[in-house]
Structure 1
């Protein structure tokens, strides 16, 4: 399950709660496109802004509309007690796995984070993805911490924040991680501009933001890399460079939220306040890029 393309969709949010109709349609669209798994309530899914009840309901909606596609549900929260509640709700919803980032307000130590995964893994009946995303959590794993956490029960995959841009350095990075991790734990690359590089370097999975809104080009990259056609994977990623440039400038969440709105997949304003999305000039630039890359179909 933790190989291939894992697509992370938005969770369209209004001030009265989750737009379940739009969310269900996004999930069904990814299942129909052929994503290998769906990452509901990841950072792109704005999980940190939702109540327990909203998250539990979103998990159920995702599982109901994913058909046979496995759904991995984000369970991160500030307190371990709340993580355990989210894990219980995700498992009750029928999630095939859970995704856990070490959220914090006070800075976390390595022992804090190991203790979090130790406590949570002891209460799980489904596989767990370790979610290393220092851009949102402000916590950076060390390789040694990866190795400690990977030995815990139910840990099945590690979502690394990226690989070096140089292909040979990327391969060396993946080899290093393979040496310290159990063979049962897969490696998943994130940071979409480096998705092709990570897959070509030997990562098992791509945990992808862009795939949640544009699954087809992400599948092209993934299938090419997984079949050994590194050149095609690189070429498709280079084709998407204008989109990667927008991600670098504005952050992937705001860009895909605007793109999804322009495609009519979500309401015009679907980010949780205080996030206000892009200004008019930047929205126009997103429109230009969608047209340039033929992503409006």
Structure 2
């Protein structure tokens, strides 16, 4: 489950709710490309903006459209009781794993973060991926905290933020603190090739949710130790990710490719303005990603 390429598609959402048909097509498209797993309702999937009912509906769509490709569903919420309810919904829908980010309004102590994962993992029947994403949650995991959480039952993977520059030391330091049964996954798409080459087990990929074949090529090359050039070729796209945020760039890309309608982000989120959208289209065209 927690190896190779895990692709995170957009959940096309307007004020009337999820665009079920577009979402099913996005998930089926990713599955048909041969990804190793699909991450439904990650940050790219806009989980934090959806109701429990919308999230349960999205997970059912994803599991059905995936056609046997393992699906991991995001279950992050502000209250532990809400996380447990979302975990139950996801498991009832047939997911293969869940992804938990410690969402918060009040700053959480390390003991509170650990307590959240302890409360949730003891109730699970599927493995859990720890979602370390300080850019959105503002919760910062120490390596010690990762080591504590990794000892809990049903923890199967850790999704760490992108590691700029040589990633070997970061991967090695974390691996020394977690059981061998817990895999290490990288995000931050522009650093993912380096992370995989340094020994990370899985790429949790924004790119893979809309351009699965391109992300798969980078993943397989990284597993063979030859990915640097492929990732570097995408630097114009990585630049847009860093400038505008990967969610908004993928929103514009999915719309331009006819994979979703408009709008496809829930308010208060807004898509890119016309100038930025032209940038996205120009980069996709130059990279051969428009067909």
State if a TM-score over 0.5 links the two structures: yes
Map of 1:4-23 to 2, 5 A cutoff?
Answer: 4-23=4-23
Q: 1:182 aligns with which of 179, 184, 198?
A: 179
Partner of 2:45: 45
- For residues 1-297 of structure 1, what are the structure 2 equivalents within 5 Å? 1-165=1-165, 167=166, 170-226=167-223, 228-230=224-226, 233-297=227-291
Deviation at 1:217, TM superposition (A): 1.2
CA distance in 1, matches of 2:289, 2:198: 27
Shift of 1:178: 1.3
Q: After superposition, give the CA deviation of every residue in 1:1-27 in whole Å (9 maximum; x if it has no partner).
A: 100000000000011110000000000
State the Cα deviation string for residues 85-115 of structure 1 (Å, max 9, x = none).
0000000000000000000111111111000
- TM-superposed deviation, 1:234: 0.7
Q: CA offsets per residue over residues 258-288 of structure 1, 9 Å max, x none?
A: 0100000011210010111111100110010
Q: Deviations over 1:205-258 (max 9, x none)?
A: 0000011001111101100111x233xx11110110000000010010000000
Per-residue deviation at 1:163?
1.6
Shift of 1:175: 1.0
Give the Cα–Cα distance (whole angstroms) in 1 for the partners of residues 25 and 112 of structure 2: 38
Structure 1 alignment gaps of length 5 or more: none
CA distance, structure 2, for counterparts of residue 277 and residue 139 of structure 1: 26
Deviation sequence 1:17-68 (CA, Å, 0-9, x none): 1000000000000110001000000010001111111100100000001011
Taking structure 2 as the reference length, the TM-score comes to: 0.99
Provide the C-alpha distance between the structure 2 equivalents of 1:212 and 1:129, rounded to a whole number of angstroms. 18
Report the TM-score, using the length of structure 1 for normalisation: 0.97
3-state SS in 1 of match to 2:232: helix
Which one is further off, 174-183 or 94-103?
A: 174-183
Paired residues, what number?
291
Structure 1 stretches of 4+ with a deviation exceeding 3 A read: none
| Contact 1:121 1:154 survives alignment (8 Å) | yes
RMSD across aligned C-alpha pairs, in angstroms?
0.7
